[in-house]
Chain A
């Protein structure tokens, strides 16, 4: 899902909202822009009482400055609104079939309470968030996730959660409602993407304090300048009044221009747009952050906890080698393994079949082809699968189980088997043993080496994390030896083996006590406490309601590796704020060089030397500074929405790059910009 950062249509659509935001009752949340608005109002009064072209031009551009700031916010919000509209369509009022003691009744979905049980059948829309307590069904969740492939939802286990607004495609389920009326997941999503429930995040608050302090300094610098200017003017009675300075000091219009140019309007105008756009970028990647605070925390994360299965490795173990025992040939073992696994429907069994086919050239066979064969599917009790055919009995399964079976069938287990099995275990793999019994004799044929397969590209991702200063910890239920091997292969920094849910929680607690911020993903109910404890807890949308409730983000794609992208988005958000703040402050240097000589050159001609840009006249200098100040807001809206480009790497390099672009650039750009504007505005009337 990509939308262009900024298009003329988007700007136009945002315009009415931007005008509405001129209301001081809305604007008071943004003190910097409120000051600009007050200044604009005051200069309007001054321009009415004492009209001049210069005054009216300044008035117009001051109002435009406020409008541009509102526009930035409105555009950022507008992009969320489109998303919200499509969600609203999913929420349209549905009827629910509520179960009562002795039957069912039809009620409006909005009347459902927590704990109510409803029936949903194929073709019907799930009336509210809840857990499946009976049955299994395929569900179309595209209204929420945008993903058209249906998903399976079933009672019990970690795939029981259903979301209101999704459609059941097959079968019949009973859902226990877990939401309160009006607080459904979709309701929350709408509020989030619209920014209605947007609260300032901790870092945003801190930045606002800094901006307020800077504003106070500049207000003070300008207010106290007045008596000083009156004194300077009074001491030089021969100097004629100018548009900037007369016997009463600096004129009101120019005084306001000076304040507006100096206070940090650029970042003040864009700050909330940056925050909204940051949330929006997450939404674009199908991640819902329940609070801006969580997005910010994502940028600060020090430790990532990643479940091994499904995140680092593909879900299941796969056959990676056949190791024959004694004089058994490769081909013979492969054939036996293949045959004995045909009836094994577990992923491991299927992988043995696939491996035999791909690496040993065995033909595709199906159980039906072999007449008279008795298939023994894998069971948890026997821990073996196999086949009885042509007087041969083949078994494949857990090492101990097959060894026992061989012995029971009258065969011997060679000593080298133990060594082979231990070797496979030591390398992090799982050994399966293949055995054969025929004519009253039994023997061990060999070992199948099952291995976890690390997903492609994981090592590169973890290297990138390391360069960002983030430690990755793999969580697995495997024994330490297996865990060690996979950790080394995937390139994670650390691992937690034989982990139980409470171990996970303890690890998070330990990391946090060391001052580190922890992020994790989870989907099961037993992940919920850890998700709640983690600073960034991303719940999978396929997970249980408890998990989704506990985490502070939900990934609608249920892709655990997305955590890495979330971290990058969090960092990008902070970088964008810092970069634009630096840019905004650095801009002031050039504005001083435009305005200060314009104010006082008449009284102290030497100050003309400060007019390094050689601006046309005091009027054109002041107007150019004000115009630049307004235009730079518009110019930076795309950057605020898109975010500063983030390249993973160490802090020092990142800082050098951003400092040279936004610090140095912030000093240099306005000199050029103001000069260019001056070249144009000098031809306006009233500029000399």
Chain B
């Protein structure tokens, strides 16, 4: 089996597997969020946190709950890291320094998992398990809450309520993430991922030197790292480390878990608005963008014109030999198309254009299929903008799912869309304009610039993967990127919830022959077009100075 065929089988089997679980998982999530019964353990939790589970919230209250919950999460995680030397299982590590602790706290609460530290040499087991892994669960659940609230906005008529954040949070965590994570962890352990509290194995390397490979509760954190599109590895090498990602099939499984919830949420969306075909349309938009992106990344990796790539047939630098070029390219695309940011190969070492694809994936706003929840709400915002521009061309005030897209809706959708380009571009510009920003660069010229652009793109979009090469555990980068992560997460969430509130208040305009149909290939093509054109127009000048300058040879 040649490499190309293997790559096609790898991608094809992923598509097939996602298609198989689309309905059952989407329907399950629909029942989770639409159900009215509370499990006993959930009732106990509600009593503990003091919420009435049957009382619903308006958009502002929902947003306040999200922000309050996240603020407490950041504060707790910050303190946790600052006192870890006194805690159990600290492995003798010191307290994390303040700027790094802030950066890490924000990073994990915002579902970014940008790591300016190296896990195995900074964090003790307790912080990893009770701090970071917990946030891996709840930050993913928060994203799903916001997405579900937006979908409720579309589904409800003349309602001021969007549901109850605390109920959505608890249910998403207990009924969706935990069960899948449990099964996934067992599978990963079967694939060689470690799960222990040991201090590490001492091995003798090929060169004869001794080295200690630390162990730890890896599998349990690994599974939610991918399932919750978090991406924060137990080890610095992330999914390229054999203890995190042992074999080609665990690599497949990790990609599958990354894409699982974001894709299936489209089904949940379709069920909630009462038209499954609307869910298929959104899933199709995500699928088209994802497949094109995977294809381009693989092609750029395979067909680079450098001396070494030509000699060995593909760009293998930085690619984990166990997985090969294509599988690594698929992982790279999946991790950047979602808000995961886990890596099994090093994007900095990719060909200029292959590396650019990972940046473009994030610049798209991570919507294909995006993070757990955040992908769906990001895509729906783009759909709203598409409906507005193109919908006028059918001669009616644009409508999406029976909701009129008027001034307020456009304002909120546009504001939501504006946030990340604003953060990425001003962040990068600030870095290039300041001494402290430029100081962290390992390379100069176009490649050095790409490293900075990548860092701000990754942080602002809550991806968390790094291009490497950039020294980011400085006060300047810890602070700047931390701000990008926080604003890049919470500003869109507030706009999305306000949009949801505005949609829910509306009645429902029934569809007619004159209404723009939003379930046909025509609409899918339009959303893809608008997404790509808007992003291209926003980022092309910056990309021209980075990967394009480096990658195009005339």
Contact = CB atoms under 8 A, between A and B. Distances in A.
Residue with the greatest number of chain B CB neighbours at <10 A, chosen from A608, A610, A651, A663: A651
A650 interface: yes
Interface stretch (B21-29, B110-118, B423-431): B423-431
A585 B426 CA distance: 23
Contacts of B551: 606
Contacts of A606: 548-554
B541 A575 contact: no
B445 A514 contact: no
Given A210-B388, A300-B396, A515 B533 contact: no
Nearest to A573: B395
A228 B545 contact: yes
Interface stretch (A20-28, A135-143, A201-209, A341-349): A201-209
9 contacts: A207-B392, A227-B433, A228-B429, A230-B433, A466-B513, A471-B512, A582-B389, A604-B446, A646-B395
B318 interface: no
B394 interface: yes
A469 B446 contact: no
A615 to B, nearest CB: 15
Contacts of A64: none
Interface in A214-238: 216-218, 220-232, 235-236
Contacts, number: 222
A621 to B, nearest CB: 14
B421 interface: yes
A299 interface: yes
B529 A663 contact: yes
Interface in B112-143: none
A650 B421 contact: no
B510 A515 contact: yes
Given A302-B509, A596-B544, A655-B522, 6 more contacts: A224-B542, A227-B433, A468-B514, A604-B550, A606-B554, A655-B390
Interface residues on B, range: 35 or more
Interface string B269-294: 00000000000000000000000000
Nearest to A471: B512
A589 B97 CA distance: 46
A508 to B, nearest CB: 15
Contacts of A236: 445
B389 A589 contact: no
B432 A228 contact: yes
B52 to A, nearest CB: 32
A582 B522 contact: no
A607 B542 CA distance: 13
Nearest to A585: B533
A206 B410 contact: yes
B444 A585 contact: no
Nearest to B405: A206
A519 to B, nearest CB: 13
Contacts of B520: 652
Interface of B: 385, 388-397, 402, 405-407, 409-411, 414-415, 417-418, 421-422, 425-426, 428-430, 432-433, 438, 444-446, 448-449, 507-510, 512-517, 520, 522, 526, 529, 533-534, 536-542, 544-545, 548-554
A513 B396 CA distance: 19
Contact of B432 (A230, A514, A604): A230
Q: How large is the interface on A (under 10, 10 to 19, 20 to 34, 35 or more residues)?
A: 35 or more
Nearest to A568: B395
Contact of A515 (B390, B509, B517): B509
A229 B425 contact: no
A100 interface: no
Contacts of B407: 202, 205-206, 209
A469 B537 contact: no
B522 A468 contact: no
Q: Which A-B residue pairs are the 4 nearest by beta carbons?
A: A578-B392, A469-B514, A571-B395, A469-B512
Instruction: Tell me the interface secondary structure of chain B in the complex.
Output: helix
Contact of B395 (A218, A221, A574): A574
Contacts of A592: 536-537, 540-541
B394 A575 contact: yes
Given A216-B418, A589-B537, A610-B552, A516 B514 contact: no
Nearest to B453: A228
Interface secondary structure of A, over-half rule: helix
Interface string A413-431: 0000000000000000000
A652 B517 contact: yes
A513 B507 CA distance: 8
Given A224-B428, A515-B508, A231 B548 contact: no
Contacts of A470: 512, 514
Contacts of B529: 663
A620 to B, nearest CB: 19
B273 to A, nearest CB: 15
A231 B438 contact: yes
Contact of A659 (B393, B425, B538): B393
Contact of B515 (A213, A227, A581, A651): A651
Contacts of A589: 533, 536-537
B388 A654 contact: no
A578 B533 CA distance: 16
B476 to A, nearest CB: 15
A56 to B, nearest CB: 26
A602 B212 CA distance: 51
Nearest to A470: B514
A353 interface: no
A469 B388 CA distance: 19
A577 interface: yes
A227 B432 contact: yes
Contacts of A213: 414-415, 417-418
- Chain B CB count within 10 A is highest, among A224, A471, A572, A600, for A224
A579 interface: yes
A647 B310 CA distance: 56
A469 B513 contact: yes
Interface string A645-679: 01000111011101100110000000000000000
Contact of A608 (B402, B428, B554): B554
